[in-house]
Amino acid sequence: MKAVILAGGEGTRLRPLTCNTPKPLVPLLNRPFLSFQLELLKKYGIKDIVLSVGYLGEEIRRVYGTGEEWGVKIYYALEKEPLGTGGGIRNASPFLDDLTIVFNGDVLTDFDLLRIIQYHHKKHAQATIVIVPVSDPTVYGLVLIDSDGRIRQFLEKPGWEEITGNTINAGIYLLEKDLINQIPPGINYSVERQFFPSLLNRDISFYGYTGEGYWLDVGNKEKYLQAHKDILQGKIKIAIPGKRIGKVWVGKGCEIDPHAHLSGPAVIGDHCRIEAGAVISYLSVLGPRCLIKKGAYIEESILGEEVVLEEEVHIQSSIVGKKCQIGAHTYIEEGNFLGDFTRVSPYSQL
C-alpha cells in the first residue's frame, strides 16, 4: 500500500510564512510540518510515499530527498502547473499499484490508520473519506452519511442555509487505483468539488469513516498557532525536541542567563541565547539561534529561526517569521503575523 501527500499548493492562507517556504516545510515545533505526516504513515507500515509537489517543489525534494533519513521511500510527482487536489492525485497515478491513502498536506492528526483501512475493506468500498465533526462546517466540505456509513451528501463549503449536519471532510481518503484512474489527467480538477460529488451519481461504493482522536487543519495562521499550543498542552502525543527541564524543552548549545525567567510548557530551539531579565512564558516556541535580549517578554507566540528581540520587546499571541529583527521597546499585540526578514523600528506598536 502506498500513500499520496498533496504538497503542491502555494499555502496562501499561511502567507507570509509561505512566501519563501513551501507549506510542507513550514516548521511546527522547529520541524518541517511534513515530517509529522511521514511519521504517522510509517507508524502504520506505509513506507512508500508519493509527494505531489508544485510550488517550490525542488526545495521539498532538497530537504527530503529519497526519504531514507525518515525511514521511508519518497517518490515525487511534479505538477508543471497547478492541477488542484484531484489532478494532483491523478498525476501520482504512475507510482501507485492498488489501494492508496491520500493526505491533504495541511492535516495534523493521530488517527488510527489501520482502523480506517480495515473499515474500507469491511465495506468493500472503492472510496472512503475520513470525516470529523466540527462546530462550523461552512469553511470545510460537508459530508453526510446514512446509517450504514454510505455517503449520501457531499457539499464543499456550504452556506448556513444548506447545513443539515456537522461532519466534514478531514482531508484523508482511501481510493482504489481503478477509481484514481477515472480522474481526468493533466487538467486542474478538484476532488472535493468535482470528483467526490460525481461519485454520488454513479454506482460507486463510497463510504465515510468517522475519525477518532486529534485532528486539525493547519492551513491558516490561527490554526498554525493552535497546533503548537495543542502539542505543548498534550492534546496530541508528539515527541517534543530538546532536553526537558521542568516544563521547558531546551535545545542543544543554548546560552540562558540564570536571571532569565522561563515558564512552560515552552520550547527553546538549538543555540538560542536568552539574556538576564528576559521572560519566555507559557505556550511559546523559539526557533534555532534566536537572540532574546534583556527584559524581552514572549507569551503564547512562535518565533522562527534567527529572530532577534532587542531589549524590552513585548510579544503576545503572535507569529514571527525567520530572521526578523524587532527593535527595542516594541510592543506586538495579540494576533500579529510577521513575515520572514521583517525589521521593526524601536518603540513601535503593532
CATH class of residue range 243-344: mainly beta
Between the alpha carbon of residue 39 and those of residues 44, 108, 222, the distances in Å are 9, 11, 24
**What average pLDDT does the segment 269-284 reach?**
95
Percent with pLDDT over 90 in the chain: 68
* DSSP-assigned letters across all residues of 113-148: HHHHHHHHHHTT-SEEEEEEE-S-GGGSEEEEE-TT
Q: pLDDT band at 164, cuts 50/70/90?
A: low
* Phi and psi, residue 159, nearest 5°: -80, 160
> Looking at the domain 2-232, which fold is it?
Spore Coat Polysaccharide Biosynthesis Protein SpsA; Chain A (3.90.550)
Is pLDDT at 157 greater than 70 in this prediction? Answer: no
For residue 193, what pLDDT is reported?
Answer: 86
Cβ 102 vs Cβ 173: under 8 Å: yes
- Tell me how far apart the terminal alpha carbons of the chain are, to the nearest angstrom: 49
- For 12, what's the count of Cα atoms within 13 Å in the CB-facing half-sphere? 1
Identify the pLDDT of residue 120. 96
- pLDDT attached to residue 163: 60
Backbone dihedral angles phi then psi of residue 122, each to the nearest 5 degrees: -60, -40
Using the 8-state DSSP alphabet, how is residue 192 labeled?
I
Taking the C-alpha atoms of residue 108 and residue 105, their distance in angstroms, rounded to an integer, is 9
What residues does CATH 2.160.10.10 cover in the chain?
A: 243-344
Joined grid coordinates for residue 119: 473499515
Rounded to two decimals, what is the model's pTM? Answer: 0.90
Report whether 339 contacts 322 (CB < 8 A).
no
- CATH 3.90.550.10 occupies which residues in the chain? 2-232
Segment 318-336 shows an average pLDDT of 95
275: helix, strand or coil: coil
Rounded distance between C-alpha atoms, residue 197 and residue 199, angstroms: 5
The contacts of residue 58 (CB under 8 Å, 6+ apart) are none
Q: How far apart are CA 161 and CA 157, in angstroms?
A: 12
Output phi, psi for 32, to 5 deg.
-55, 135
Average pLDDT of span 26-43: 93
Cell of 1: 500500500
pLDDT interval class at 248 (50, 70, 90): very high
286-317 pLDDT per residue, tens: 999 999 999 999 999 999 999 999 999 999 99
Residue 166: per-residue pLDDT: 77
